[in-house]
Amino acid sequence: QIIDGKATAAEIKKEIAEEVEHIVAGGGKRPHLAAVLIGHDGGSETYVHNKVLACEACGFQSTLIRYEDDVTEEELLACVDRLNNDTDVDGFIIQLPLPAHINKQRIIERIDYRKDVDGFHPVNVGRLAIGLPCYISATPLGILTLMRRYGIKTSGKKCVILGRSNIVGKPMSQLMMQKHYGDTTVTVCHSHSANLEEECRQADILIAAIGKPEFVKADMVKEGAVVIDVGTTRVPDPTRKSGFRLCGDVRFDEVASKCSYITPVPGGVGPMTICMLMLNTLAAGKKAYYD
């Protein structure tokens, strides 16, 4: 079965919009997300544009703040301070990647963790690790939500994650390990893993997040496995208006027939990511995790 992330995301955004109207009807405040975009990277422009559109669909207020590539670290830190102190802003994100002269970690750690709807601040990362309520990074949360909505049983299964990034691999491994989330036995593979292909073949659930187009081939997948493709590499394609197409980490054409469930690229995990940011923003508006 092909997992339809686009349809699932649309469903969830509709549920969020209904809840927002309920909150507003009861005299409550519309959730407000601010996004900071630095420079003109094509991918970041598209993501942030889609985040603003998703806010509209959910009935949120949104604010877009732009800086040029030559913004200084001090200017960005001052912007973070302003957003931290703006009582109307419930949550905000600094779109990554940042220019090389900016210390990313210093910016992230300056964000008030109570407004960190990306779930990148060490307080949120740490709270996730010990199973406390917190903002969870959108891509891992989106993957878990897809599996739940499709009724995929995870408890006790063997889960292999390809990639150990801070945004996907690491938080995904936490979620898949924990009792009240995935409750699976987790193996994290990366560029220096020995026997990576053999590890993959053992997986009941294989989550590919290494950013290498078509890395996962049919002979690396167990019959009946659930395969989640997080890859979104832009590869040149002159037949497209944009000049590129998105390519996943999995050879969909040869892997799909072996799987019980598989996510396509595009239309699988991608649409869920922004949707989970909306869910985190709703939680921020409701002060669900922190006062």
Closer to ligand GUN at the Cβ: 138 or 255? 138
Q: How far is the CB of 267 from ligand GUN (least distance, A)?
A: 17
Nearest C-alpha neighbor of 268 from the set 143, 138, 118, 141: 143
Nearest C-alpha neighbor of 139 from the set 286, 263, 31: 263
Q: Provide the phi-psi class of 40: left if phi over 0, else alpha when psi is between -120 and 50, else beta.
A: alpha
Closer to ligand GUN at the Cβ: 162 or 259? 162
96 is an interface residue for ligand GUN by CB under 6 A: yes
Alpha carbons 163 and 280: distance in angstroms, whole number? 24
95 is an interface residue for ligand GUN by CB under 6 A: yes
Nearest C-alpha neighbor of 270 from the set 168, 170, 142: 142
Q: How far is the CB of 143 from ligand GUN (least distance, A)?
A: 13
**Residue for token digits 């507003």?**
24
Strand segments, DSSP code E, in 196-248 are 205-208, 226-229, 233-236, 244-247
Closer to ligand GUN at the Cβ: 33 or 200? 33
Closer to ligand GUN at the Cβ: 65 or 256? 65
187 is an interface residue for ligand GUN by CB under 6 A: no
Which strand (E) or helix (H) includes residue 123?
helix 122-129
Q: How far is the CB of 108 from ligand GUN (least distance, A)?
A: 9
C-alpha 75 chain-centroid distance: 27
Alpha carbons 141 and 107: distance in angstroms, whole number? 23
Which position's Cβ is nearest ligand GUN? 96
Q: Which of 4, 90, 116, 118 is catalytic?
A: 118
DSSP three-state, residue 256: helix
Q: Identify residues 106-165 at the interface with ligand GUN (CB under 6 A).
A: 118, 138
- 95 in active site: yes
Closer to ligand GUN at the Cβ: 94 or 279? 94
Helix axes 122-129, 169-177, angle to 10 degrees: 30
176 is an interface residue for ligand GUN by CB under 6 A: no
- 105 in active site: no
246 is an interface residue for ligand GUN by CB under 6 A: no
Please pick, from the candidates 37, 54, 93, 210, the single residue that binds ligand GUN as defined by CB under 6 A: 93
Distances (CA, A) of 276 to 6, 144, 145: 12, 11, 9
Q: How far is the CB of 184 from ligand GUN (least distance, A)?
A: 23
94 is an interface residue for ligand GUN by CB under 6 A: yes
Q: How far is the CB of 168 from ligand GUN (least distance, A)?
A: 9
Q: Which of 4, 13, 51, 157 is catalytic?
A: 51
Q: Which segment (26-34, 87-95, 141-149, 215-223) binds ligand GUN by CB under 6 A? A: 87-95
C-alpha 3 chain-centroid distance: 16
Point out which residues bind ligand GUN (CB under 6 A). 93-96, 118, 138, 167
